[in-house]
Amino acid sequence: MRRTAAVALSLFALVACGAPAEEQPPGSSGDLPDTAAIVGAVTKDDALAAGLPEDVRRAGKLRVGSNVQNPPNNFYAEDGKTPVGSEVDLVKAVGAKLGLTVEHQDMAFGSLITSLQAGRIDVTMAAMNDTPERQRAIDFVDYFTSGITIMVQKGNPQGVKGPDDLCGKSVAVNLGSSQETFAKEHRCLSGDPIQVTATDSDTQNQNQLRTGRVAAILNDLPTAVYVAKTAGDGEFFEVVDLEPINGGPYGIGVNKDTPELAAALRGALQALIDDGTYGKVLAAWDVEQGAVDEATVNGG
C-alpha cells in the first residue's frame, strides 16, 4: 500500500516491533472501541476446525506469541493485563472460527521466531512483516499491509524529509525489526551511515526521541501515526510526510512443521473477510486502509 503520511493521518487512528511492555508507550491507552459484539458473533466452522493439527484441536486453544506494546495493533488496556487492539481482535475471531480460545504470550520481538520454532507458542502475531528472509525460517498467513515511516520531534527541528536526511544521525528502531534491517542497509550518498540504536522497548525509543538522543524513530506507519496523535496529546511527535517505505504485508507466523495449521488459519481468516467480520474489526480500530481482500500464505 502506498499512501502519504499526511493522508494517513486522516485515515488511521492507528505497528511494528519491540518487547514485553513493562511500561506502556505514551499515548497507548484512552477510549477504546467496543469490539466484543463483533468478535462474539463469530461462530465455529466445523469443516475448518477439522483441519487443525490434532494437538491444537485437543488443547482447544491457540498460543499466540506477541509483542504487546504496539497500539493500535496490540497493547494493554488500562488494567495493564488485558491485551487489546486490532490484531488481538482479529486473532480472537480467527480462533473462534476454529473453535479455539486464544492465549497471548508477551515476549521480546526478537525471540518470537525462535519461540515458534521451539514449539513454545503455536503462532506469532505482532505486526511482523512477511519477508523472503523470514520465510526461510517460518511460514506466514498474511492479514494486513503497511510500510516503514519516520517519526520525529514535533516541529521536525532537524528538517528530516526522508531517509537520506538521517545519514550520520542516530535513529531508534526496534531490535530484530524490518526497520532495523532497512536502517542498517540504507546506502547514504554522503558516505556517513545511519547510526542505528536498536532496543526492545518502544517506550525507551520514544524517550530517546523526546530528549534528542536520537533524531528519529523508524516504525510502521500505523503505529507511528497513532503515537504521534496521542503521545502528549499530540504535542511530542510528528510523522514525516512521505510515502511508506518498503510497503508489504503483516503475517501470522506459523511453524513450517505445521502446514495444516497455516491452512486452517488461512481458511478462517478468509471466511472472516468474506462475511465482513474482518472489515468490521479493522474499521473499529480505524485501520481499514490496510485491509487485504484475500488471505494468502507467504505473500511477501
pLDDT tens, 280-299?
999 999 888 789 999 999 99
Grid cell in block for residue 25: 508507550
Name the residue type at position 186.
H
Per-residue pLDDT reduced to its tens digit, 172-192: 999 988 899 999 999 998 889
Compute CA 281 distance to the chain's CA centroid, rounded to the nearest angstrom: 15
CA-derived radius of gyration, the chain? 18
75-79, 210-214, 265-269, 285-289: least confident range: 285-289
Is 14 a residue whose pLDDT tops 70? no
Q: Determine contact, residues 27/71, Cβ cutoff 8 Å.
A: yes
Banded pLDDT at 30 (limits 50, 70, 90): low
Write the DSSP symbol of residue 24.
P
CA angle 155, 159, 164 (to 5 degrees): 140
* pLDDT, averaged across the chain: 89
Nearest to 223 by CA among 109, 69, 92: 69
Terminal alpha carbon distance of the chain:
13
Query: pLDDT at position 296, please?
Result: 97
Give the chain's domains with CATH numbers.
5-146+249-297 (3.40.190.10), 148-246 (3.40.190.10)
Residue 120: how many other CB atoms lie within 10 Å: 13
Name the residue type at position 64.
V
